[in-house]
Structure 1
Amino acid sequence: MTAFILVSGAHTGDWVWQETAARLREAGAEAHPATLTGMGDRRHEAGPDTGLETHVEDVVALIDRVGTPDVVLVGHCYGIHPVLGAAGRRPERIARIVYLDAGQPQDGDPALTLIPDQAVRDRLARATGPDARTGDDWLVPPPAPGEWHRWGSTAGVPEAALARLADRAAPQPLGTLTQPLRLTEAAAALPTTGILCTANGSSIAMVEQVLRMGDPRLLALVDPRVTFFELATGHWPMLSAPAELAEVLRRAATGEGHRLSAPAPEQPAHLRPFLLDATERPRERVGRVDLYLPDADGPRPAVVFVHGGPVPEAARPTPRDWPALIGYGRYVADQGAVGVTVDHRLHGLADYPRAAEDIAEAVELVRADPRVDGDRVALWYFSGGGLLSADRLAAPPPWLRCIAATYPVLQPPPSWGLTGSRFRPADALRSAGRLPFVLTRVGQEIPEIAATVEEFLAAAAECAAAVEVVDVPDARHGFETIDHTDQTRAAVRHAVRSVLGHLRS
């Protein structure tokens, strides 16, 4: 018999697992939902010294009380931190660790680094900084009613369950979120399963895409003892899909699930040749900016290409040396405009403000170049870089003649933590007026990204925005180096022709 120990996320307790635990027991398994110190019915037990170590000890004590030899530890959201800490104390008892829509914390990481709500992260950072106050600041209040979506998608959660979530939520002791995790080698070596909730913005396809980018932090995920499942629901599957969650947990305990493959030894997809021929002209490099200059006299319009991401800081080559961006820069220069590529610093989901500053600095550098017509500039965004278009859509400057986006993310998925009003192109579009927007949409898009494009297009229809869609039905995300067809070549030529037309009109 398998025994499941179920550890929930911040502000909640054992009650959230009620239906899932019942389903597991009906199937013949043991289910032991944990209520951590200060949570649920134990909220009165917490004090200023309650920290992550307290919750680790809670889980260790529960492991010791369970008589079944095979224990599967399930950590939802914050709960993965005490789960990993406890696994390091009792590795011989743990058959598998399940990451339920949880991050992948490393040794030394406090839980606050994985909180999706940026505003909460900033507030907690201030609370532990030199200006920290005293009194009741050791308690972090739960989200207000109606604000739980800031901690993750509430898709699929019935209204009654949402009301119960808000009513029974407990303040979280600050130390549980700020104390660093101590992850032992023994815990890191245990078999694991990741359950990704697609309505919260994560999927197996997205993990595989990042893995292909060469992020060394993800190489451990190709271990055959690591499996994955998806649930088509939001961040609280124990409330929105308890039966489905119980079934997936049972399968995970037996080692089932999708296994990732190591990146192929041949050239990675994003480093393969560009799909169009372009003149091999020299480029000028100034800091993080590369310029591809046309064979023409006098100031010329410019197209600034903004790569996607996040891209790991250690990735080599960096994006401006990728064949696709080099190809776009050269091809635009062949058409008589200045092609510009930028290595902005979008290395993690918290880096969007810094990346936006990098792009703004690059644009000012380009506009100040005497070979550029500073009043005729287009910005062209790719993939996760699409969120950076929101600033310009919200307040288009007179020099911006056009925005383009290719297979872009156009609204932040819930799990990305970008909960403020910035970096939301579908919302900002309502302020863009008649600014032309050329959108290249691929038919074989990752569903979680495709949903953001459809949300953007719905907003465009409501406000009659000047959006032109270039459809490429048979193409995939990153098609410029993986789908070399007549259809994809025609799409790139069409998009470039439209953008340059807006620059020259």
Structure 2
Amino acid sequence: MTAFVLVSGPFTGDWVWQEVAARLREAGAEVHPAMLTGMGDHRRPGGPGTDLGTHVEDLVRLIDGIDAAEVVIVGHDYGIHPVLGAADRRPERIARVVYLDAGMPEDGDAAVALVPDHALRERLLQQSGPSESDWRVPPPQGDEWQRWGSTDGIPAEALARMDRLAVPQPAGTFTQPLRLSGAASGLPTTGVLCTAGGVGIETVEFLVRSGPPQFRRLADPQVSFFELATGHWPMLSSPGELASVLLRAAAGEGHRVAAAPSEQPDHLRSFLMDVPERPRERVGRTDLYLPDADEPRPAVVFVHGGPVSPDARPTPRDWPGFVGYCRYVASLGAVGVMLDHRLHALTDYARAAEDVAAAVERVRADPRVDGERIALWYFSAGGLLSADPLAEPPPWLRCVALTYPVLAPLPGWGLVDSRFRPVAAVGSAGRLPVVLTRVGRENAAIAATVGEFLSAAENCKAGVEVVDVPLGRHGFETTDHSEEARGAVERAVRSVLGHLTG
């Protein structure tokens, strides 16, 4: 017999699983909806010391009391943090870990990164420790639930029940980092993706193929996926479908991402053009590729996407695509600049923007650079960082370039500060030239942001030049060595340099 341990997200308890648990039991499964300390059970009221470790201990005790041969442990939203902590402590007891519309936290990550309210997130991060008066975070009510995840499909009665039964979340459960030894890293896992939030299997395949390196592990044959066409709380909106998916996950079913683990990641393949090497100077997180010139030259600063894990090696500035762009620009007489900024999570956009701004100032101060002729070139999810220069173009900025960019936070990216919305900022760009490289085989959600940006640009008469790559896809510079692709890169680079020298 399989036993399911069901762990809910913030502000909720075992009651949220009532209908799912009934359906699982009807199918013959043993079910244990978890009630964690401080989450509404008068027998375990919690206190200022209640933290993630407390909830991990709750689950370890629950697992130790289960006699079933196989335990499938399910973590929804915040619940994946204590789930992974408990699985790390009892890996021999766990048959499968199910991520139910949850993130992928690693050792050292805290759930505070999931808090959508920027002010609340900052307050939690600045707290030295919860006190008797502020050790709990009040639950959302009414329309506020939408900020924590899509409420699509939840009946009105169930929404009212959420308001009625929700309880404050102990602050320490958000702020204490998850600690993992790696003991559970080889366990089979299943991701259940709720597509009303904008993320589905297509997104996973896109991330494995073209995203940051940490997503490569999603192509492991031990990892499977299911989609549910509903919002963030499927236990309330689609309990029957969720129960069926959990039973199938326990049986080892689910979609596997089709990518050979030994295949070289797209971002580490060779650049599509054979460009000559150029002298490179490395200072801190910034590299300068220098042209043959006796006088100060304009510079192009390249800004990578992400989020990229801080442990990723090589780092983006050594990825062949960016090295190729920098060398190409330098071969044509400008200084190519590449930096590693610290966009490690969706909450890091402000820090990444600071890194880019600091790198630009260092470059402008270099005597080999004409500090009044600078272009900023953004890629992929780094495109959100273009919002600042588009909103208030500085006089030294001669051009903004965008290549397969994300130009508005994607569905499910509620953690991104609202400041980073180029679709809104372009209205203030004035006559600043923008060169946008658009790929025809783009992820649908990203393509929608590009369309929205171009509509906004047209409405405000912004100067946007579109370089189309009809057969190209995200990251095409290292996967497509066709004449079409090379022509698009050449056209975009020469257009940007034309704005710098014109």
Q: State the TM-score, normalizing by the size of structure 2.
A: 0.85
Residues 219-278 of structure 1: per-residue CA shift (max 9 Å, x gap): 765554332233444433334444433332221111112335776546543232222343
Q: Partner of 2:98 in structure 1?
A: 98
Q: By how many angstroms is 1:399 displaced?
A: 1.7
Q: 1:2 to 1:315 in 2, by over 3 A?
A: closer
Q: 1:421 to 1:110 in 2, by over 3 A?
A: closer
Unaligned runs of 5+ in 2: none
**Partner SS state of residue 9, structure 2:** coil
Q: 1:443 to 1:106 in 2, by over 3 A?
A: same
Asked if structure 1 preserves the Cα contact closer than 8 Å seen for 2:398 and 2:433, the reply is yes
Residues in 2 aligned to 1:453 and 1:240: alpha-carbon distance in whole angstroms: 31
Q: Partner of 1:312 in structure 2?
A: 309
Q: Partner of 1:452 in structure 2?
A: 449
Residues 1-58 of structure 1: per-residue CA shift (max 9 Å, x gap): 5443321100012343344445545555454433333335659934334444543454
Q: By how many angstroms is 1:91 displaced?
A: 5.1
Q: Does 1:152 align with 2:138?
A: no
**Alignment size in residue pairs:** 502
Q: By how many angstroms is 1:208 displaced?
A: 5.6
Q: Which has the larger displacement, 250-259 or 194-203?
A: 194-203
Q: Does 1:192 align with 2:189?
A: yes
Q: Which has the larger displacement, 250-259 or 346-355?
A: 346-355
Q: By how many angstroms is 1:94 displaced?
A: 3.6
Asked if structure 2 preserves the Cα contact closer than 8 Å seen for 1:118 and 1:417, the reply is no
Asked if structure 2 preserves the Cα contact closer than 8 Å seen for 1:439 and 1:469, the reply is yes
Q: 1:88 to 1:303 in 2, by over 3 A?
A: closer
Residues 363-397 of structure 1: per-residue CA shift (max 9 Å, x gap): 12222334433322221101121121111122111
Q: Partner of 1:441 in structure 2?
A: 438
Q: Partner of 1:270 in structure 2?
A: 267
The one-letter amino acid of 2:83's match is V
Which of residues 376, 379, 387 in structure 2 aligns to 1:379? 376
Q: 1:332 to 1:9 in 2, by over 3 A?
A: same
**Partner SS state of residue 249, structure 1:** helix
Which of residues 360, 364, 368 in structure 2 aligns to 1:363? 360
Q: 1:436 to 1:26 in 2, by over 3 A?
A: farther
Q: Partner of 2:169 in structure 1?
A: 172
Residues in 2 aligned to 1:79 and 1:221: alpha-carbon distance in whole angstroms: 20
Q: Does 1:237 align with 2:251?
A: no
Which of residues 395, 400, 405 in structure 2 aligns to 1:398? 395
Residues 430-474 of structure 1: per-residue CA shift (max 9 Å, x gap): 332332322212222233433433443444355443333322221
Which of residues 325, 329, 334 in structure 1 aligns to 2:326? 329
Residues in 1 aligned to 2:211 and 2:380: alpha-carbon distance in whole angstroms: 17
1:72-91 matches, within 5 Å, as 72-87=72-87
Residues in 1 aligned to 2:499 and 2:164: alpha-carbon distance in whole angstroms: 54
The one-letter amino acid of 2:286's match is V
Asked if structure 2 preserves the Cα contact closer than 8 Å seen for 1:211 and 1:263, the reply is no
Q: By how many angstroms is 1:299 displaced?
A: 4.0
Residues in 2 aligned to 1:267 and 1:74: alpha-carbon distance in whole angstroms: 32
Q: 1:40 to 1:492 in 2, by over 3 A?
A: same
Residues 77-129 of structure 1: per-residue CA shift (max 9 Å, x gap): 111233334445665554322111223334565433554555433222222x1
Q: Which has the larger displacement, 194-203 or 393-402?
A: 194-203
Q: 1:422 to 1:148 in 2, by over 3 A?
A: same
Which of residues 409, 424, 431 in structure 1 aligns to 2:428? 431
Q: State the TM-score, normalizing by the size of structure 1.
A: 0.85
Aligned identity (percent) is 69
Unaligned runs of 5+ in 1: none
Residues in 2 aligned to 1:115 and 1:263: alpha-carbon distance in whole angstroms: 35
1:160-309 matches, within 5 Å, as 161-162=158-159, 164-181=161-178, 183=180, 187-200=184-197, 202-204=199-201, 207=204, 223-260=220-257, 265=262, 267-295=264-292, 298-309=295-306
The one-letter amino acid of 1:173's match is P
Residues in 1 aligned to 2:242 and 2:459: alpha-carbon distance in whole angstroms: 37
Q: 1:161 to 1:457 in 2, by over 3 A?
A: farther
1:121-160 matches, within 5 Å, as 121-127=121-127, 129=128, 132=129, 134-143=131-140, 145-157=142-154
Q: By how many angstroms is 1:477 displaced?
A: 1.1
Residues in 2 aligned to 1:470 and 1:219: alpha-carbon distance in whole angstroms: 29
Q: Partner of 1:38 in structure 2?
A: 38
Q: 1:234 to 1:188 in 2, by over 3 A?
A: same
Residues in 1 aligned to 2:130 and 2:95: alpha-carbon distance in whole angstroms: 43
Asked if structure 1 preserves the Cα contact closer than 8 Å seen for 2:115 and 2:415, the reply is no
Which of residues 459, 481, 490 in structure 2 aligns to 1:493? 490
The one-letter amino acid of 1:247's match is S
Q: Which has the larger displacement, 406-415 or 390-399?
A: 406-415
**Partner SS state of residue 177, structure 1:** helix
